[in-house]
């Protein structure tokens, strides 16, 4: 089996991870391309003796650490004690540890190998990162989901995280109307709303009026992770784990501080 065939199943998820880590599709994809180019041109190689997915993510991190936008040293004009600047002090390694375990489902040992830390350091980073993110980024949330039980689960989960669910919607038209009336700071959206239309269409219409982060939730992530069109920066696969939602919500709000609104 060729290297391309071995790595192909993992690339859509590496791209998803890279987008979540850097906060944009352009930056994330650029670093994935750099890693693949280095591999194909022989400048870098995959670590032997570990699963290909682990080796691929480790290679990506080696490239990313060599000169990526980590946001660690970014300081804006806001007061030093503002929520935005306090979040900027959260190291990229802590965000990476959180995403690798909660979103990408690596074990702490695998995450430690990927980012070249010890498992104990990774576990401490996860706790510290989530605590910082959760304490600073309470927001108003709109949930777009046509399955009542799933909508209720999401509402309970984000409420427990300290956010305020201002509305739920089961159709495209309802979602757009509630977004305009409630002006949420974050949207959690199912992609397929059944007879209620498309969650993607609802989000596109909402984003034409508001600049807010969106997290898509779907049972078929591979349908969006194609590379053939602009893809969602934040994507959660069903069935989802609470820690995955927690980590993704934190990352989405982290990179949209202007949209943050106290609940």
One-letter-per-residue 3-state SS of 225-245: CCCCCCCCCEEEECCCCHHHH
Confidence of residue 52 (pLDDT cuts 50, 70, 90): very high
Q: How deeply is 25 buried, as exposed, middle or buried, from its count of CB atoms within 10 A (0-12, 13-18, 19+)?
A: middle
- Within 66-207, residue ranges assigned H as helices are 83-88, 92-102, 108-115, 119-136, 148-160, 172-182, 199-207
Q: What is the mean pLDDT of residues 220-232?
A: 62
Query: pLDDT by residue (tens digit) across 54-84?
Result: 999 999 999 988 864 554 433 344 444 444 4
Residue 189 has pLDDT above 50, yes or no: yes
Q: pTM of this prediction? A: 0.61
Count Cα atoms within 13 angstroms, Cβ side, for 144: 34
Q: What is the mean pLDDT of the chain?
A: 83
Domains of the chain are: 3-134 (1.20.140.160), 137-259 (3.40.50.2300)
- Local structure of residue 23 (DSSP, 8 states): S
Task: Give residue 166's pLDDT.
Answer: 96
Q: Is 2 helix (H, G, I), strand (E, B) or coil?
A: coil
215: how many CB neighbours lie within 10 A of its CB? 23
Task: Give residue 165's pLDDT.
Answer: 96
Task: Give residue 73's pLDDT.
Answer: 39
């Amino acid at each position: 089996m060729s290297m391309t065939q071995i790595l192909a199943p993992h690339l859509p998820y590496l791209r998803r991870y890279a987008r979540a880590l850097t906060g944009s599709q352009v930056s994330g994809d650029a670093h994935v391309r750099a890693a693949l180019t280095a591999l194909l041109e022989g400048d870098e190689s995959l670590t032997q003796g570990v699963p290909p997915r682990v080796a691929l993510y480790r290679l990506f991190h080696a490239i990313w650490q060599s000169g990526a936008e980590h946001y660690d040293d970014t300081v804006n004009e806001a007061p030093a004690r503002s929520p935005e600047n306090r979040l900027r002090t959260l190291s990229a390694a802590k965000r990476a540890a959180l995403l690798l375990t909660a979103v990408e489902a690596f074990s702490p040992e695998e995450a430690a190998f990927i980012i070249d830390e010890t498992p104990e350091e990774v576990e401490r980073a996860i706790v510290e990162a989530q605590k910082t993110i959760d304490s600073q980024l309470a927001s108003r949330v709109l949930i777009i989901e046509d399955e009542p039980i799933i909508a209720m689960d999401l509402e309970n989960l984000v409420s427990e995280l300290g956010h305020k669910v201002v509305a739920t919607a089961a159709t495209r038209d309802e979602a757009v109307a509630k977004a305009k009336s409630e002006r949420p700071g974050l949207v959690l959206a199912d992609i397929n709303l059944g007879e209620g239309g498309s969650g993607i269409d609802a989000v596109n219409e909402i984003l034409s009026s508001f600049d807010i982060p969106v997290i898509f939730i779907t049972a078929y992530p591979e349908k969006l992770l194609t590379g053939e069109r602009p893809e969602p920066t934040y994507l959660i696969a069903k069935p989802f784990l609470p820690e995955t939602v927690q980590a993704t919500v934190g990352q989405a709000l982290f990179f949209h501080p202007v949209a943050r609104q106290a609940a």
